[in-house]
Structure 1
């Protein structure tokens, strides 16, 4: 027992040291004083704590699971996970075959591991997803459990080359979006009914406690697929994810997370590939995103709820990823009220006629937020529909989105970027007169086949260094 206490103490000391190093890095970078932010990124990656599990396996078949794609295995999954956790942790093995289940709730020190030909089929019956504390479009609430859910857990993982299949389509979860393109028809209930989405947003604005924001049955707010809430030291590796009801990978208030080699192919409504929210020290690498919404969308809470939580997302690192279809490759916002800083994107490929933008920041005066220190390098872009870089303080998709929280966007850098088909604009940036978009740099950027060089409104200090658009060198704009 004494030895175990010493081991735990050593772990705490090492994690604390790592956290102090990362915090020091973050402070330097967020102030804009670092001469080489990429070195600061390397420090974050180097000091990121890694998951570590006991060499013990718990096969779900030994707990009564049946691989026929029809038998509901929720209880077998939970028995295996509980037993694994009770014995100090290890791997919960999902063998080859098709396993139907409701929500899976993870525990600390547990690695849910899918064999190569294993497929978890998630039930399309909402009753198989109990009400839990979760979040929906940047607002916390009590709602259907995410399909895979962990809350207040440490050292937890989902790994293996098997498939997670949400089974969502135009006849079940997606129809709740209220979009005709996803099967909705007049008279069919959806999230857009007056008692649903609007009520949730109003509750948050009025400061109603999260425990009293009870939704679920009859409210049609779709569950997230994989959500880690208030967790630390998390790994998601190699899995394939398809047909998600809603957001796909959603770390919220979760720190020290690695997402590695994940393959997302899901074209439903609001099918963002990965949405780190109020989260810090998140590494997303070697992943492929083919989505119905943003490939990666970095969040920080919506409106009053974001200002209540007041935790910025920072040290979000994207490396060696491929973005195919999506509204944007790497996006920040629009749920952004607590702010985002220190985002690093490098060595990525983005290419699809169905990809709207490469890099995008979206906010407005109702969201607010400070978005700063966004660094992008070594980006290879094939085709984008609208623009390569879009920085917008007037994002508006849900009716009136104006308020008294003027956002800040500053310190955005693109370096070593090539684009074959740039769409309508190379750079589209719009700020407020009292809060211009500030300090934008394009260095060694080459963009072909773009309609207009830029659309700029209230932009201060935009620099073009060795940048060519439609074969013509672009000069820095003097303010």
Structure 2
């Protein structure tokens, strides 16, 4: 039988109030200083129509040659804005971007990628679940570029539901091989996957890029993660819509990346809406580039989880801000921080403010023992600040923290938390210095009754 635990905790001393105000000012100043470093790229005025390069939006003509020609022209002219007008454009193979390029997908336009694996060869340098390797090219790929924009009201359709998405059933052998290469520090030149393997390519990947804008477009039917931001910085993503229901169709996956603004996004994903990563195990610790300075605000979450940190986060994650977000539908978990003792690294200085969910399984969940596995490299998880978070119903648990015996989760601050209905209110193990201020789980207890 479900039991409702009615809790009203208040640690209300003048000194703590002053400390709270100082923390709020510190949070806002830190956030605003980060925002100063996130500047969208200037879009070229050198306009090119994709149709002038032979593209036909009839859903039948292969328009990859037209894209290749247009991008080559942009390269020769030091930049350009490629206009994709209304129509359905078949793209049999990847679009490899160049510096100073904007692709504008006008209303009614759709890029539909072909499903023949050999079209995405030769292999390119990429990363797969936190391990660098050579694999099939992402469908839209930018490597070591600056000033890239994908904008407009059109759609990017990975067309992967009946092709690449099904590779998940056959990927285990290659997946384990990639992890072995990671742990054994196999030279990168020997990590060749592609043909004969089943590691699904990403839909969009920016790798070692700077100054990126993704705005307005709809993203759907991805073969794997939708937008992978890898070792990149100064990124703005706004007003993007996701309808991505294949396996592992995360929305945004920042990895080893910094100075990112994700705002006004309409998520509808079969997996994590935002999953912040920083490399896996040995390679992540060796690379040592944390994902940091990421602001997620004014978004509507819907899918598996709202915001996730991990589990591949071995180089560390810090300075993450989740603000003024709500929900567009069900999420299994609202905010989810996960690691295990194979990862190492740290998760710290995480700020969650003014966020609302409807029905979830678990509202707020931290685990340092993800999948119950790993040893030798515990993660340091501390300095998490959660303020003004609301949830209508948590079918399993409200607040969960699972530390590790030799590395406890510490310095977690909850304030102004309200969960209307919940099976297990709180479950904390291997923790220290967990602070509460104004928590209501279940029905608020008001004036006490008295004997008549």
Do these two structures clear the TM 0.5 threshold for a shared fold by scoring above it? yes
Aligned partners of 2:289, 2:445: CA distance in 1, in Å? 41
Aligned partners of 1:255, 1:235: CA distance in 2, in Å? 11
Instruction: Specify which structure has the bigger relative contact order, considering alpha-carbon pairs within 8 angstroms and separated by 6 or more residues.
Output: 2
Q: Does 1:96 align with 2:86?
A: yes
Aligned partners of 2:59, 2:328: CA distance in 1, in Å? 35
Q: Does 1:138 align with 2:130?
A: yes
What secondary structure sits across from 1:36 in the alignment?
Answer: helix
Post-superposition offset of 1:308:
2.2
Alignment counterpart, residue 204 of structure 2, candidates 226, 229, 235: 226
Alignment counterpart, residue 184 of structure 2, candidates 192, 201, 206: 206
Aligned partners of 1:231, 1:349: CA distance in 2, in Å? 30
Is the 1:360–1:391 contact (alpha carbons within 8 Å) kept by the matching residues of 2? yes
Give the structure 2 partner of residue 3 of structure 1: none
Q: Does 1:394 align with 2:385?
A: no
Give the structure 2 partner of residue 369 of structure 1: 345
Between the two proteins, the alignment pairs up a number of residues equal to 423
Post-superposition offset of 1:34:
8.8
Aligned partners of 1:223, 1:136: CA distance in 2, in Å? 8
Aligned partners of 1:209, 1:112: CA distance in 2, in Å? 36
Map of 1:460-479 to 2, 5 A cutoff? 460-472=432-444
Aligned partners of 1:338, 1:203: CA distance in 2, in Å? 18
Is the 2:44–2:102 contact (alpha carbons within 8 Å) kept by the matching residues of 1? no
What secondary structure sits across from 2:36 in the alignment?
Answer: helix
Aligned partners of 1:312, 1:319: CA distance in 2, in Å? 21
Give the structure 2 partner of residue 159 of structure 1: 151
Alignment counterpart, residue 232 of structure 2, candidates 230, 234, 254: 254
Give the structure 2 partner of residue 336 of structure 1: 313
Aligned partners of 2:436, 2:387: CA distance in 1, in Å? 10
Alignment counterpart, residue 349 of structure 1, candidates 321, 326, 335: 326
Aligned partners of 1:121, 1:302: CA distance in 2, in Å? 32
Is the 1:351–1:384 contact (alpha carbons within 8 Å) kept by the matching residues of 2? no
> CA 1:448 to 1:389, structure 2 compared with 1: closer, same or farther past 3 Å?
same
What secondary structure sits across from 2:355 in the alignment?
Answer: strand
Residues 26-58 of structure 1: CA distance to partner in whole angstroms, max 9, x if unpaired?
A: xxxxxx999511221012113323200221111
Q: Does 1:57 align with 2:9?
A: no
Map of 1:265-344 to 2, 5 A cutoff? 265-326=243-304, 328-344=305-321
Aligned partners of 1:54, 1:316: CA distance in 2, in Å? 26
What secondary structure sits across from 2:44 in the alignment?
Answer: coil
Residues 307-328 of structure 1: CA distance to partner in whole angstroms, max 9, x if unpaired?
A: 12110000011010001122x1
Residues 368-407 of structure 1: CA distance to partner in whole angstroms, max 9, x if unpaired?
A: 220001101111111112x1110001111xxx83121011
Q: Does 1:115 align with 2:91?
A: no
Is the 1:352–1:384 contact (alpha carbons within 8 Å) kept by the matching residues of 2? no
Give the structure 1 partner of residue 418 of structure 2: 446
Post-superposition offset of 1:330:
0.4
Aligned partners of 1:279, 1:371: CA distance in 2, in Å? 15
Structure 1 unaligned segments of length 5 or more: list them: 1-31, 179-189, 475-479
TM-score relative to the length of structure 2? 0.91
Give the structure 2 partner of residue 182 of structure 1: none
Post-superposition offset of 1:203:
1.0
Give the structure 1 partner of residue 12 of structure 2: none
Aligned partners of 1:304, 1:473: CA distance in 2, in Å? 50
Residues 102-146 of structure 1: CA distance to partner in whole angstroms, max 9, x if unpaired?
A: 211111100011011110000111111121001111111100010
Is the 2:59–2:88 contact (alpha carbons within 8 Å) kept by the matching residues of 1? yes
TM-score relative to the length of structure 1? 0.86
Is the 2:395–2:422 contact (alpha carbons within 8 Å) kept by the matching residues of 1? yes
